[in-house]
Structure 1
Amino acid sequence: MPATRKKFAACDPCRAAKVACDHARPVCIRCQNQSRQAECVYRASPFKKTKRAPEKSTTPATPGLMSSHTPGRRQSFAANGRTPVLGGDAVAPKPHRYPNPGYLGSFSSTTLFGNLPDGRDPVLGDADGHAVNSDNPVREANVTRGAGLIKQIEATVSIESCCSLILAWTARGSSLPLAGPFLDHCIGTMRQLFPNQGQTAVASTELSRSLFYHTSRPVDMASSTTLHDFQAQFGHQRCRWETFGFFFTAASRAAIEMSKFDSAREYRDLQRLGMNLSDLSLDIALSLDCLNDLQLVLQYENWILHSFVDGDQSYHSWKRLGDVISSIYALGLHQQSNNDHNSLPPFLLELRRLTFALAYSADKNVSIFLGRPPRIHLKYCKLILPRSDRAVEPWRTTWPQDMPFDYVADIRWGALCGILKEDIMELFSLEGINDGHPKVREIYDKAHAQWQALPPHFRLESSLKQCNQAPIVRDFILNARLNQLHILFLLRMAVARSRPESDGELVSIAAEILTLIVEALMQKDYLVNSNTSLVWKVAYYGLSAAGVISLWLLHESSKTQPHPNVDTSKVFQSLSVLVLEMETGVLIETDDPNYKLLVDASKTIGCLLSRLILGRVTPPQSGEAVVGAMTAAGSMAAKSPSAAMMETHDVAAAQGGWNAWDGQTLHDFESDFWLNLAEHPFLAGGGGNDL
Structure 2
Amino acid sequence: MTGNLFPSRLRDSHQNRRLNTNFRRNGKLQSCEPCRKGKLKCDHMMPTCGRCQRRNRAEQCVYHPAPLTKTHQLPTPQASDSSSPTFVRQSVDIDAVPAPALPPTRIDPSPTQHPRVSRASSLPAQPWSSIQYGQQSVEELRKPVPRAHVQARAISPSGTFIHHAAILAENELSVGIFPSNGETAPAIIYRHDIQRGAACLTLLKDFPRCLRYIEKWFSFAKGLIVIEPIITIFTTGINQTWGKWLQGSDDLSYMSEKVWQNTLKPWSTSITKDTSPRDFCLAATGENLRWEVVGLVVTLIALVCASLTDGDPIFCSDDDAPIDREATLIRAQNASQMCIDFCDDFGVLTDLYLWLLYENTGVYCALRTKGSYQNLKKSATLITALLFCNLHEEIKVDEKTPFFITEVRKRLFSAVYLSDKVGAIYTGRPPRLTRQFCRLQTPLDISDAQLMSDVQDPERIAMGLDENGWNRRGAIHLSTFQRLFVSVAMITEEIVEISMDIEMPPDEIARRAADITERAIERFESLPDFLRLHRDRPFQDPKRSPIELLFLAYIEMNAHYHQYLLQRVLIKRLGADSAKLLEIAKFMFKFVLQMVNNKHVFRDFQIDFVTLLNQNGVPSAAVIAVELLRQEQNPCGIMNPAHRLPRSQTIQDLSVFVACLETIPPNSCAYISCERGLRFLKKILDTILDPVQVNEAELNMDTSLGGFDFNDPLWLDMIALEQESWPNFS
Q: TM-score, normalised by structure 1?
A: 0.71
Deviations 1:253-276 (A, max 9, x none): 112233253358711111111111
Q: State how 1:150-189 maps to structure 2 within 5 Å.
A: 150-151=198-199, 153-154=201-202, 158-172=206-220, 174-181=221-228, 182-189=230-237
What stretches of structure 1 of length at least 5 have no aligned partner? Answer: 1-52, 71-82, 391-395, 627-644, 672-691
Match of 1:273 in 2: 331
Question: 8 Å contact 2:423–2:722 — kept in the other structure?
Answer: no
Partner SS for 1:324? helix
> SS at the partner of 1:428?
helix
Inter-CA distance 605–234: structure 2 relative to 1 (3 Å threshold): same
**Cα deviations by residue, 1:414-439 (Å, 9 ceiling, x for unpaired):** 22111011101111135654799221
Match of 1:454 in 2: 527
Partner of 2:105: 89
1:512: which partner in 2?
587
Kindly indicate whether residue 627 of structure 2 is the aligned counterpart of residue 552 of structure 1. Answer: yes
1:111 to 163, 166, 182: 166
Structure 1 residues 483 and 568, CA gap change in structure 2 (3 angstroms)? farther
Distance 1:502 1:482, change over 3 A: same
Aligned to 2:496: 425
Shift of 1:549: 2.4
CA distance in 2, matches of 1:436, 1:96: 46
CA distance change for structure 1 residues 332 and 534 in 2, over 3 Å: closer, same or farther? same
- 1:199 and 1:128, CA in 2 relative to 1: closer, same or farther beyond 3 A? closer
CA 1:199–1:419 in structure 2 vs 1: closer, same or farther (change >3 Å)? closer
Change (3 A) 1:660 1:565: closer
Residues 611 and 320 (structure 1), Cα distance of their counterparts in 2 relative to 1, 3 Å cut: same
Which residue of the partner structure matches residue 467 of structure 1? Answer: 541
Q: Which of 476, 479, 494 lines up with 1:408 in the alignment? A: 479
Q: How does 1:668-683 map to 2 (within 5 A)?
A: 668-669=720-721
**2 CA distance for matches of 1:362 and 1:434?**
30
Shift in alpha-carbon separation, 1:377–1:497, aligned structure 2, 3 A: same
Q: Which amino acid aligns with 2:232?
A: D
2:44 maps to: none
Which residue number in structure 2 is paired with residue 619 of structure 1? Answer: 695
Structure number with bigger Rg: 1
| Separation in 2, partners of 1:325, 1:114 | 25
Distance in 2 separating the partners of 1:482 and 1:131: 47
State the partner residue of 1:4: none
What's the counterpart of residue 152 of structure 2? 99
Compared with structure 1, are the counterparts of its residues 527 and 67 closer, same or farther at alpha carbon in structure 2 (3 Å cutoff)? closer
> What RMSD over aligned residues (CA atoms) do the two structures have, in Å?
4.3
Confirm or deny that 1:347 pairs with 2:407.
no
**Structure-1 separation of matches of 2:521 and 2:668:** 37
1:102 & 1:69 partners in 2: Cα distance?
31
Q: Is the Cα contact below 8 Å between 1:597 and 1:670 reproduced in 2? A: no
Change beyond 3 A, Cα 1:527–1:147: same
- What is the total number of aligned residue pairs between the two structures? 563
Q: Secondary structure at the match of 1:376?
A: coil
**Separation in structure 2 between the aligned mates of residue 616 and residue 525 of structure 1, nearest angstrom:** 39
Q: Distance in 1 between matches of 2:174 and 2:640?
A: 82
Q: Name the SS for the 1:379 alignment partner.
A: coil
- For the residue of structure 2 that corresponds to 1:533, the secondary structure is helix
Instruction: Determine the structure 2 residue equivalent to 1:17.
Output: none
Q: Distance in 1 between matches of 2:384 and 2:88?
A: 34
Range with greater deviation from structure 2 (548-557 or 513-522): 548-557
Q: How far 1:472 sits from its partner (Å)?
A: 1.2
Contact 1:249 1:274 in 2 (8 A): yes
Task: Indicate whether 1:296 and 2:371 are aligned.
Answer: no
Show the 5 A alignment for 1:148-227.
148-151=196-199, 153-154=201-202, 158-172=206-220, 174-181=221-228, 182-192=230-240, 194-196=242-244, 200-201=248-249, 204-216=252-264, 217-219=266-268, 220-227=270-277
- 2:303, 2:363 within 8 Å by CA — same for their partners in 1? yes
1:385 aligns with 2:419: no
Cα distance in 2, alignment partners of residues 656 and 405 from structure 1: 44
Decide which of 652, 656, 663 is 1:577's aligned counterpart.
656
**Equivalence for 2:572:** 497
Where 1:242 maps in the other structure, the secondary structure is helix
* 1:162/1:366 CA distance change after superposition, 3 Å: same
Q: What residue identity is the alignment partner of 2:414?
A: A
Shift of 1:359: 0.3
Structure-2 change in CA distance of 1:606 and 1:229 (3 Å): same
Change (3 A) 1:436 1:196: closer
Distance across 2 between alignment mates of 1:292 and 1:67? 25
Distance 1:340 1:565 in 2: 58
Structure 2 contact 357–382 (Cα < 8 Å) conserved: yes
Q: d(CA) in 1 for partners of 2:674 and 2:303?
A: 22
Shift of the 150–334 alpha-carbon distance from structure 1 to 2, 3 Å rule, reads same
**2:674 paired with 1:598:** yes
Residue 357 of structure 1 contacts residue 411 of structure 1 at CA under 8 Å; is this kept in 2? yes
Provide closer, same or farther for how the CA distance between residues 190 and 259 of structure 1 changes in structure 2, counting only shifts above 3 A: farther
Equivalent residues in 2 for 1:13-52, closer than 5 Å: none
Q: Deviation digits for residues 530-564 of structure 1, max 9, x if unmatched? A: 79611111112222222322333333443143345
Kindly tell me: are residues 649 and 532 of structure 1, through their superposed partners in 2, closer, same or farther at Cα, counting changes over 3 Å?
closer
Aligned to 2:551: 476
Instruction: Choose between structure 1 and 2 for higher RCO, CA contacts under 8 A separated by at least 6 residues.
Output: 2
* CA drift at 1:444: 1.2
| Secondary structure class of the residue paired with 1:115 | helix
Find 2:290's aligned residue among 231, 240, 244: 240
The counterpart of 1:438, out of the listed 498, 506, 511, is 511
SS at match of 1:175: coil
C-alpha distance in structure 1 between counterparts of 2:356 and 2:716, whole Å:
34
Question: Matched residues in 1 for 2:87 and 2:404: separation?
Answer: 41
Unmatched segments (≥5 aa) in structure 2: 1-70, 91-98, 108-146, 317-321, 446-457, 460-466, 724-730
Partner of 1:609: 685
> Does the Cα contact within 8 Å between 1:306 and 1:317 map onto a contact in 2?
yes
Match of 2:86 in 1: 66
Query: CA 1:166–1:117 in structure 2 vs 1: closer, same or farther (change >3 Å)?
Result: closer
Distance 1:166 1:362, change over 3 A: same
Whole-angstrom distance in 2 between the partners of 1:158 and 1:319: 34
Q: After TM superposition, give the deviation of residue 304 of structure 1 in Å.
A: 0.8
Q: Percent identity?
A: 17
SS in 2 for 1:340: coil
Amino acid at match of 2:586: A
Match of 2:597 among 522, 525, 531: 522
- Residue 430 of structure 2 is matched in structure 1 by 373
Pick aligned residue for 1:361 from 418, 425, 429:
418
CA contact (8 A) 2:307 2:606 kept: no
Could you give the per-residue CA deviations for residues 421-480 of structure 1, whole angstroms, max 9, x where no partner exists? 110111113565479922122111111121122111212344423434211111111111
Distance between the aligned counterparts of 1:156 and 1:62, measured in 2?
23
